[in-house]
Structure formats: structure tokens, C-alpha cells
Structure 1
Amino acid sequence: MRRSKQWPATNHSPNSKLIRIFWMSFTLMVPLLLSAQTTSPQARATKITFENVPYGDHPNQVIDFWQADVKGPAPLVIFIHGGGFTGGSHDKISQEKVQAYLDAGIHHASIEYRFLKHAQFPAPHEDAVRALQFIRSKANAWGIDKNRIAAYGGSAGAQLVAYLAWADDFADPDSKDPISRESSRLIAVAPIGGQSTLDLDWWVEHIPGYDRNFHGDGKRGDLSKIEQRALVRELSIIHHISPDDPSTFMSYGMHPEAPIPSNPKRARGWSIHHVNFGIVMEEKLREEGVEVFLKYPKAKVPFENDTAFLMHHLTQ
């Protein structure tokens, strides 16, 4: 049984200063991350049941919820958008994908969260946890089977959904706040183009085409090296993998042996979402005995895409 998760003891409340390495990295990457989203802005053809429902006090702490036309509690899939933790929007989502889930009798939600201009790390991760707990607290009112919740997301959103899936449960059974007593776990997860770690030195060593000069020097005076390492480790999803994690489907847009694109701008976005991130996470998940599927061009996996994978687990 997994213990309830508590935030590390280092100084990284939402009001703490940002580690420059992350701010520089993702601020510079955000145009590429936004362009790499697997969901594109579309007219909202599918009517939202509950729009911009607040789960916190900040304007970005909102949820859109689409309710499937079913009787009784139904499973739910959650989407978290990317954008380098500095941009993107929860309403930029594939309507075809939303409708496919609704047609299968699966509710759909899309979460917004605070960006780094609003609050520093780990604010996006705290928001993802709180949003999921809030949704679970609405299980009776919204007709959700709280034991059948899965999630998918791209890039930064991939990191957040993997954090929900792999980090220890944040449920606090002794809390006076009923929302905090809810579980933050998932039954399945599908990160798309996600990064295994925020240790950029690892990127230099393992990611083709990645140049350390893309980003800042990472120096910071208000945290000790030990505190910086603790924060980087907490936000690096690979370190949370353990045997009781849910089935995982990861997808990337390039083959491991694919050449670096000749266009510098394309090469940069290509490296930021490289399949090598997925390979190292796949290895770790397999070591821990977790069911995992890694999809990339020419890879043989039993599911066509993340939607097929999540539907399989949510409709069992």
C-alpha cells in the first residue's frame, strides 16, 4: 500500500522563487511546446456541461467538464495541456477526441493550472493534484465513478499526468478539508511527448541535438545545492516510478534512430520531445513490474493510440 504523499521539506512553496534553470528553459521553449501540442484549437462543437468550474482561488484554477449521456456513475478521463508551464490553454483541445470519449460513455475533463508567471514550482503540480481531488469530491454530483479515472496530456501536461499517476497518493485522511481527503491516483495514464527529468545535464548526455546553450546557467543564490537537487528530483517524474503504478502508454513522434532535423527550429522542438525520454521511463517501469507501452513510428504496440489505450482501461 502506497503512503500518502507530502511535499518535500525544501523551500518550494508556490510563493518561493523559481529555480532559474526551469524558468529559462521553459520560457524559451514555450513556442515550440505549444506548436507540439497533440490537440489543436477548434470550435467548441461539443457543449460543455460545466465550464470553468473553480477548484481554487486563482483565475487559472478551473476545470471544464463534459458529462457523458449515461445512467449511473461513469468513468472519467482528464486532459492536461502543455506549454512549458508558461502558456497553453485548457480549452485548446480536440473536439473529436472529447466526443469519442463521450460516445463511449466516458466523462471528459480538461484542467487549467497556474503558470510560472503566477506562482513558482511546484505550483502546476500542486494544482494538478488539487484539481483531481476536487473532481473526485464531485463524484456524486457529476456522476463519476471515482475508481475509474485516467488522464492524458502532452509535454508539460505529460509530466503532470505522469506525476499524478506515479507520485505517492496525496490523500490526507485526517484533513479537515474534505477535498484533501480524496485520492490523487489514476488507474491508467497516457503521457504524450513527455520529459522524464528536469535535469538538463541529463538532456545533454542522452538527447540527440540538445544543446546546453539553449537555456540558462541554472545558478541560484537563495537555495543550496542540496535544496536545488531535491526540487529537481521531486519534479522529475522518473523518480516517482514504483511497482504499484498504473498501466502506462507513452507516445513520441520520432524513431529512436531518426536523424536530427536539418531545420534548427524544428530540431530544437524535436529534441525537447525526444523518444529517449520515453525509453528510459519504459525501462524503469518495466524494472518495477508496471505494464507499459511505448509508441513511436514503426513500434509494435497493441493499441493504435492513447485514446484506444485509455478507453480499454476505463471500460473494463
Structure 2
Amino acid sequence: MLLAQTGTDRFTTRMKRDDANGDGKLTRSELTGPKRLFEQLDEDGDGVLVLSDDAAQKLKNFRVQAGDQPGTAIGSTDRRRMMETLQSRAAHLRQGPAATRGGLRERREPDHQDVRYGDHERHVLDVYLAETEDSEPAPCMIWIHGGGFRRGDKSEGSRFARPFVANGIHYVTLNYRLSQHAIAPACFHDCAHAVQFLRQNAEKWNIDKSRISIGGGSAGAGLAQWIAYSPDRADPTAADPMFRQSTRVSAVILLNAQTSYDFRWIKTHIPGDAWMGDGLQQLFGYTIDDIDKIDDEKIQTIQACSPITHLSEDDPPTVFYYRRSKDPKIAMQNAMDGIHHPLFGFELKKRADELKVPCDVFTVETTKDRLFYNNRWDHAVGFLKKHFEMD
């Protein structure tokens, strides 16, 4: 007989033990628990569990919702009842477009998997096709995974595919070179090339080239913004017709986004130690110890890869979703809370408002806000349908 409360306490202890480097976060490779459980606790799909974000409490809530009440013994009857509850919840989630609501997400298999858009092994993407009326070209949502530029995979985006394809929007997830393969700007250029590849093959997948949106979580959000705000990278003189395609997009959807990767900007605008992040050091090839010796060329690269640098009045509408409060003190808890803090989004919104570029930032301050965040894909689909002028 196993007490639910005891099981949760043991899981909390294991989470702390797995955090061997004491950075307050766990990646999938660090957590010794099952993959499915990690995915249930990783609500925004950024590939990281932040211990200060109450992952253990999420586990408790999940167990309570499943019928596993704290303090009660779990026998065979209770386990069967719990499984029936889980199956019922999963079936309920499959009935509506908000298939990602709550802790369970039904993965949808891609219609075209591991399509190659470049020469590197990471230059692959998955295509999830929406059903379209009369074979009319449909808009497309491109999703870029997070993971600090050092980890992550396009398959993580499969959890978010269903709300888009169920509403007539094709959905694409992609991989890019990680910082251990090549430092910046390699991954930024990879993602831009993926957009050009999709446009080059738009007719094959019935994609409307004029209605393409882009988004991502954490690192993926930065890559998405960089594409959205940078000048069009189309080269009319390119020998390869793919590179003649536009990189411009119609809308941007972001989760827990950074808007600058310039450690000087971050140190000025974000409280705490976020500016010292080792992910940024690896991405650009510098160390904190040698930060005063960074040459001008590298500084220029860092600035050029920072999305907020490129924002202009002709850029697409953007919506930010953050799972944290906008309270600046949150950023001081640890570097992970800082690097995903809503202050990044609000700083970009200031500039967007000046340029009259539509931009909304949603944070979690109340229980109502949390409910909205948990149902963010309903809002995101509505946002796209509005800007794609879909009926």
C-alpha cells in the first residue's frame, strides 16, 4: 500500500536530488522519472522544469484531479478508478480544439516527418496538415522548440499541433543546429532557411505563402522573433530558388520569450543573474570570466541576433504568453526565472507601442490568469484567425 502524499514527497525529493548542479531546474535528461510525467509537468513545453515553479505542486494537483486524494491508500480498485479517470479526461480533451488544455496532451503524428531542408542532420522539419475546403491553400503556423539553444527537439511541438490543424491552420515544427554544433548566428539562419524552404514547397503542402505565422518557446521564441522582425532575407539573385523566397511572416506567438540576447541589455533591464546565463555564453562563444575581452565583431553578432534590435513599424502583430508574474522580484529568484521573465516582453511592447505595432503581453498574476494561460492555445488560434482573416 502506497500513500499518495508519501509518493509525492518522494518525487519532490527525487527532483531535488536530480538537480545535481543546483541550478533550480531540471531537463528531461536530468529527471529520473518517466518521460510522460515530465511532459505533464512541463506545461509550456520549453523542455525545463523550474523547481521554484512548483512542479511538485503540479504533480499533487494532477493526482487529485485523477482521483488520487492525498492521505488515502491506493489499492487495485483505486488504481483502476484513477486510470478510468485519466482515460475519461483524455477523451474529453480530444473532443474540442483546445486539445492541450490541462495536464494531458494528445500528440498528433505528423503527415510528413523529418523532411530535410538543409545539409546538417538537424536540418529537418515535420508537417501537420489541416483539412482545407475545396483544396484551397491554408495558412500555416511554424513552431520552434526551446531548450537554451543546447537541447530540445521538434517533436516537443507535437503537443501543440491539434488546436491549429483543427481550425484549418497547417502546423510545422523544426529542428536547427544547437550551439554545440555551431555558435550564433547559425541557428538563426537555419530557421530563416526553413521558412524559405516552406515557401518554396508551399504548393506541395497546400500552404498559403501569404499567411505564414511563426512562434516558439524560450529559445525558440527568440529565433521566431528574429525572423519576424529582421529585414526580408530573400535574395532575388540566389542560384538556389529556395533562397529567393521571403522570410517575412504575418503574426508571432511566443511563450516565455527573451527579446534580447545582449548580456549588457539583460543586465540593465532584468534584475538578478539572468545576464550571466551559461546558455548565452555557449551560444555566442564567450565566458563570463573573459567578458571584458569580447571583441567588437562578437558584440555586433550578439546585437544582430537580439530581436528587439530589429523591431520596426512594418513588423507583424505579436502576442506574448508568460507563465510567471510581472513582479520584478520574481526575476531575482534564480537565473531561470530571470531569463524567462515578462520584463523581456514588456520592454519590447514599449517599443512596439511607439511604432504602433500590435503587441500584447499576458502574465499570470491571479487564478483567472492561470486559467487563461492554461487555455492559451484557444486564444492563440483566435489571434491567428483574426489576422489571417479566416471566417
* TMscore range, shorter length: 0.7 to 0.9
Contact 1:33/1:155 (8 A) holds in 2: no
* Gap change, CA 1:295 and 1:43, over 3 Å in 2: closer
The structure 1 residue matched to 2:315, chosen from 245, 248, 258, is 245
Paired position in structure 2 for 1:206: 269
Paired position in structure 2 for 1:282: 349
Structure whose alpha-carbon radius of gyration is higher = 2
TM-score, normalisation: structure 2: 0.66
Q: What aligned pairs does 1:199-238 form with structure 2 within 5 A after superposition? A: 199-210=262-273, 215=278, 216-217=287-288, 219=290, 225-238=295-308
Contact 1:76/1:314 (8 A) holds in 2: no
Gaps of 5+ in 1: 1-27
Gaps of 5+ in 2: 1-21, 29-37, 48-103, 279-286
Paired position in structure 1 for 2:45: 39
Cα RMSD, aligned residues only: 3.1
- What are the Cα deviations for residues 147-204 of structure 1, in whole angstroms up to 9, with x where unaligned? 0000110111000110111000000112121000000010000122111211223322
Between Structure 1 and Structure 2, the one with more helix by share is 2
3-state SS in 2 of match to 1:151: strand
- What are the Cα deviations for residues 37-60 of structure 1, in whole angstroms up to 9, with x where unaligned? 712788874231110000011110
The structure 2 residue matched to 1:189, chosen from 230, 252, 260, is 252
**Total equivalences in the alignment:** 284
CA distance in 1, matches of 2:172, 2:304: 26
Paired position in structure 2 for 1:127: 190
* Gap change, CA 1:151 and 1:212, over 3 Å in 2: closer
CA distance in 1, matches of 2:342, 2:207: 34
1:62 aligns with 2:124: yes
| Deviation for aligned residue 1:250 | 1.2
* Gap change, CA 1:38 and 1:94, over 3 Å in 2: farther
1:311 aligns with 2:385: yes
Paired position in structure 1 for 2:227: 164
CA distance in 1, matches of 2:207, 2:107: 23
* Gap change, CA 1:86 and 1:234, over 3 Å in 2: same
3-state SS in 2 of match to 1:146: strand
3-state SS in 2 of match to 1:179: helix
3-state SS in 2 of match to 1:249: strand
Give the percent of matched residue pairs that are identical in Structure 1 and Structure 2.
31
1:150 aligns with 2:150: no
- What are the Cα deviations for residues 17-39 of structure 1, in whole angstroms up to 9, with x where unaligned? xxxxxxxxxxx989668786712
TM-score, normalisation: structure 1: 0.80
The structure 2 residue matched to 1:114, chosen from 170, 177, 189, is 177
CA distance in 2, matches of 1:197, 1:228: 15
| Deviation for aligned residue 1:254 | 2.2
Paired position in structure 1 for 2:140: 76
3-state SS in 2 of match to 1:228: helix
Q: What aligned pairs does 1:259-298 form with structure 2 within 5 A after superposition? A: 259-260=329-330, 267-298=334-365
**Highest relative contact order (Cα 8 Å, sep 6+), 1 or 2?**
1
3-state SS in 1 of match to 2:172: strand
Contact 1:65/1:108 (8 A) holds in 2: yes
CA distance in 2, matches of 1:52, 1:29: 33
CA distance in 2, matches of 1:274, 1:163: 18
Contact 2:214/2:253 (8 A) holds in 1: yes
* Gap change, CA 1:46 and 1:276, over 3 Å in 2: same
Residue identity opposite 1:209 in structure 2: G
3-state SS in 1 of match to 2:148: coil
